[in-house]
Amino acid sequence: MVKGPIGVFDSGYGGLTVLREIKSQLPGYDYVYLGDNARAPYGSRSFETIYQYTLQCVEWFFKQGCPLVILACNTASAKALRSIQQLNLPLIDPSKRVLGVIRPTSEIIGHYTYTNKVGVLGTAGTVQSLSYPIEIEKFFPSVQVFQQACPMWVPLVENNEYNSPGADYFIKKYLDQLLDQSNEIDTVLLACTHYPLLIDKIRAYLRPAISIVSQGDIVAKSLVDYLERHPEIESKCNKQGNSVFFTTDSADDFNQKATIFYGNSIQSEHLVL
Ligand code: DGL
C-alpha cells in the first residue's frame, strides 16, 4: 500500500499552532505543512478566490501522496471545504479525505457554556460565511452564537506587533463590539489560527468568568478520534515521525516567524505552485 504524510494547510503561519497540538498528540505520524503566505491573508478575500487557492493547495498535497489533508485555516474551512469535499474530491480521488476545523469545534463548543451564549471571533470571511452559527446549531440548538470579525488581528500577529501597545486598541475594540451584542456571553471561541497568540491580551479585556477556547487541542483530539474510527485512512498514513514545511513565500521569512507559532525552529522550503 502506498503511504504518505498527513497534510496540514493554512493561509500562512497560523496553522502551525494547530500542527503543534496535533504533533503533541500524534507524534508518530509524518506531516507536511503548507503555508500559502504569498497569498495570505485569506480572511478578506472572496469566496471564489479562497476556494481556488485552497483547491490548488489541496491538489498539491495529494501530489505529495497525502491520504488526508487538514485545512487548519478557519477561513478556508468556512469557504472552500464543502465545495472541495462535494465537487472536487469525487473527481480527483474519492479515497482521499479533506477535513476542516469548524465541525470539530462546533461539536464540542456547547459543553463550555452555561449561559448558552457563545461569542465567535474570526476573520471577515469566516464570520460572513455563517459557518459557525450553522454548524453549532446542528449540535447545540439551544446555544446562541454571537459573531465578531476582527480584521486587524491577523495583520498585528503577522507583523509581530501583537505585543505592542497599539495592539491593545484593536483587541479591546473588537471584544467590546462582541460583548455589546450580549452581556451573557460566557464563552469566547478564537476561531482563527492566529488568535491564540493574542490570548493574554484578550484575557486581560474579558471578565475572568468568560472561558476563552482555542482550537488547536480540539482539532488534535478530533483527529485522534478520526484516525481511530477510520482505519482505512489511518493505515495509509506514514509513521516515521517526520515533518516537512513549505511556504509559497520566502522560506527565510517563514523560518524566522514560524517559531512564534510553532514553538520550535523549523526549516521550510519555498514552493512555487
Ligand atoms: N488562518 C486564517 C484563519 O484561521 C486566518 C489568516 C488569514 O486571514 O489568512 O481563519
pLDDT digits (tens, 9 = 90+) for 81-136: 999 999 999 999 999 999 999 999 999 999 999 999 999 999 999 999 999 999 99
DSSP classification of residue 45? S
Pocket of ligand 1 (CB under 6 A): 10-12, 14, 40-43, 73-75, 123, 126, 154, 192-194
* Helices 102-109/216-229 angle, 10° precision: 100
Cα four-point dihedral sign 128, 132, 135, 138: negative
- From CA 227, how far away is CA 209, in angstroms rounded? 35
Instruction: Report how far Cα 70 is from the mean position of its chain's Cα atoms.
Output: 9
Nearest residue (CA) to ligand 1, atom 6: 41
Which residue among 54, 77, 123 has the greatest number of ligand 1 atoms within 8 angstroms of its CB, and so is best to mutate? 123
Mean pLDDT of 208-224: 97
Q: Which atom number of ligand 1 is nearest to the Cα of residue 78? A: 10
Query: Structure pTM?
Result: 0.95
Q: Which of 129, 154, 159, 218 to mutate to test ligand 1, by most ligand atoms within 8 A of the CB atom?
A: 154
Q: 235 is written with which cell numbers? A: 493505515
Question: Would you state the pLDDT for residue 1?
Answer: 80
In the chain the domains, ranked by start, together with CATH numbers, are 6-100+217-270 (3.40.50.1860), 103-214 (3.40.50.1860)
**Mean of the pLDDT values across residues 70-75?**
97
Q: Which of 66, 73, 150, 237 does the annotation list as catalytic? A: 73
Query: For this structure, is 73 an active site residue?
Result: yes
Average model confidence (pLDDT) across the chain: 96
C-alpha 235 – ligand 1 centre gap (Å): 30
Reported as a single tens digit per residue, the pLDDT across 185-207 is 999 999 999 999 999 999 999 99
Q: pLDDT category, 19, cuts 50, 70, 90?
A: very high
8: pLDDT confidence band, cut at 50, 70 and 90? Answer: very high
How many angstroms is it from 61 CA to the middle of ligand 1?
19
Query: Which pLDDT score, from 0 to 100, does residue 158 have?
Result: 84
What pLDDT score does 159 carry? 85
| Mean pLDDT of the region 46-52 | 96
Q: Cα–chain-centroid distance for residue 16? A: 9
Predicted local confidence at residue 160, as pLDDT: 85
Provide, rounded to the nearest whole percent, the portion of the chain with pLDDT above 70: 100
Residue range 5-15: average pLDDT?
96
Identify which of 9, 21, 194 to mutate to test ligand 1's pocket (most ligand atoms within 8 A of the CB).
Answer: 194
Q: What is the pLDDT of residue 2?
A: 87
